[in-house]
Amino acid sequence: MTSYTQPMVIQCPKCRSCLHRRRLRSFNDFGAMGWSDGHNSIFGLNSISQLGRCAYCNKVFWLDDLEELGVLPKEGPRIGAVSRLYHWITRDSDGVLERERIWNATPWEWKNAKPAEMPDYFDLKIALADKGSLTPERELLVRRALWFHGNDHLRLNRDGKPLRDTPRMSVSDARENMLAMLDLIAEGNDSRSTEKGELLRELGRFEEAIEALRSVTGDAKEQAELIIGFAQASDSVVREIWRSQYDF
């Protein structure tokens, strides 16, 4: 099951509102699928991002740049008169009264904060333009997310329909973004082993794609071979490359 631990409380750098930063505890890939560009449909994973947006003033920020005020404590169960007496007699051996005390002492702004929102396509463009907070590593993260958006009209879902009806980006913008990603990968920024080959394939540079993918070893080798197959067929469209074992 996809589950979250208690959220971290952060503060918007612009309007100073408190926000919750979601933290993933575990996820399942029941019914999930993954595509050649690395995007997957695992519920929960996509709601965890390094980029966030203020739910109150819409400011886009990098979550790691924000001060962490603390972890929101869990709200304890309501304690009735009889059990309160019991916990008092047992000197609160279960820690129930202590949990209640901590919860009551937690600032109201923490308890009532909205979660930081997931950045949408336009927020990614804002993040890309904000050179002050952009590092090469972050630029690659943003460009990768834009790339995923740019592929959504070609990305077929389980029902065989694309995720989007119309392209999100122009062909030239999508190309420019992929070329910038290749540059960032060449500079040594963190990238999945099949990413370079997939970018080259989607750019129609099939020979180079095959060469890059042939060097992939380990767990990703099987996926690399699938993508090589697409390149050999001169197919430059994003394709499904896995489905979870437990399916519906």
10 or 182, CB closer to Zn ion?
10
Tally of CA atoms within 13 A in the half-sphere of 142 that contains its CB = 25
Is 14 among the residues that bind Zn ion (CB under 5 A)?
Answer: yes
116 or 124, CB closer to Zn ion?
116
Helix H or strand E encompassing 77:
none
The single residue listed with the structure tokens 């992929």 is 178
Task: Work out which of 50, 59, 102, 115 binds Zn ion, going by CB under 5 A.
Answer: 59
Is 237 among the residues that bind Zn ion (CB under 5 A)?
Answer: no
Q: How far is the CB of 7 from Zn ion (least distance, A)?
A: 16
Helices (H), the chain: 81-89, 96-105, 108-111, 121-129, 136-151, 171-186, 195-202, 206-214, 221-232
Q: How far is the CB of 16 from Zn ion (least distance, A)?
A: 7
Is 15 among the residues that bind Zn ion (CB under 5 A)?
Answer: yes
12 or 169, CB closer to Zn ion?
12
Rounded Cα distance between 123 and 51, Å, is 9
Is 114 among the residues that bind Zn ion (CB under 5 A)?
Answer: no
54 or 200, CB closer to Zn ion?
54
Q: Return the amino acid letter for 25.
A: R
Letters for 39-58 (x = contact with Zn ion by CB under 5 A, - = none) are ---------------x-xx-
14 or 114, CB closer to Zn ion?
14
Q: How far is the CB of 212 from Zn ion (least distance, A)?
A: 42
Q: Which of 7, 110, 10 is nearest to 59 (CA)?
A: 10
Helices (H), 6-130: 81-89, 96-105, 108-111, 121-129
Looking only at the bridges linking them, the beta strands covering 18-26 and 114-115 are parallel
Is 243 among the residues that bind Zn ion (CB under 5 A)?
Answer: no
Contact residues for Zn ion, defined by CB under 5 A: 12, 14-15, 17, 54, 56-57, 59
